[in-house]
């Protein structure tokens, strides 16, 4: 059974030949190892290529991309930290790939 058929059959609550396997491939090192290309940021098309190369039946790709991805309009304070248009500071690091994690929000208390 082809991966697409397997996945759709499971969604229709029918019995495929096996349980469909899919994942959110979020480790840049595996892209480099399998595809020879390490992305700086998450790329849906590249994730689909990797999933196919790994023999997965599907891949999770967020609609509209990820939030907390650095944008050219954001103000960077150093190589790893930036502020979005709302004043939220984010930091990019190996543990946050493919996005950044928030450090501080402009509203810190209920009375602010």
54-84 per-position pLDDT tens digit: 999 998 877 655 555 666 678 888 888 888 8
Q: What sign does the dihedral 75-31-19-11 (CA atoms) show?
A: positive
pLDDT value of position 61: 79
- Phi, psi torsion values for 55, nearest 5 degrees: 80, 20
Q: How many residues does the chain have?
A: 112
Same domain, 43 and 13: yes
Q: How far apart are CA 42 and CA 60, in angstroms?
A: 11
Cα angle, residue 82 at apex, residues 29 and 73 outer, rounded to 5°: 100
Report the number of distinct structural domains present in the chain: 2
Same domain, 29 and 47: yes
Same domain, 70 and 110: yes
- Phi, psi torsion values for 30, nearest 5 degrees: -70, -30
Domain containing 26: what range?
A: 3-59
Nearest to 81 by CA among 72, 93, 73: 93
Same domain, 96 and 111: yes
pLDDT value of position 90: 84
- Rounded to 10 deg, the angle between the 44-53 and 28-35 helix axes is 60
- pTM (2 d.p.): 0.65
Same domain, 53 and 88: no
Going from the C-alpha of 52 to that of each of 49, 68, 81, the distances in angstroms are 5, 27, 34
pLDDT value of position 63: 60
Same domain, 8 and 55: yes
């Amino acid at each position: 059974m082809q991966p697409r058929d397997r996945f759709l059959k499971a969604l229709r609550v029918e019995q495929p030949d096996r349980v469909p396997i899919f994942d959110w491939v979020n480790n840049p090192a595996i892209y480099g190892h399998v595809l020879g290309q390490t992305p700086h940021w998450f790329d849906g098309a590249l994730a689909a290529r990797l999933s196919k190369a790994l023999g997965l039946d599907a891949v999770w790709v967020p609609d509209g991309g990820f939030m907390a991805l650095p944008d050219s309009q954001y103000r960077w304070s150093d190589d790893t930290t930036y502020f979005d248009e709302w004043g939220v500071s984010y930091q990019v690091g190996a543990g946050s790939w493919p996005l950044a994690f928030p450090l501080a929000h402009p509203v810190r208390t209920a009375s602010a």
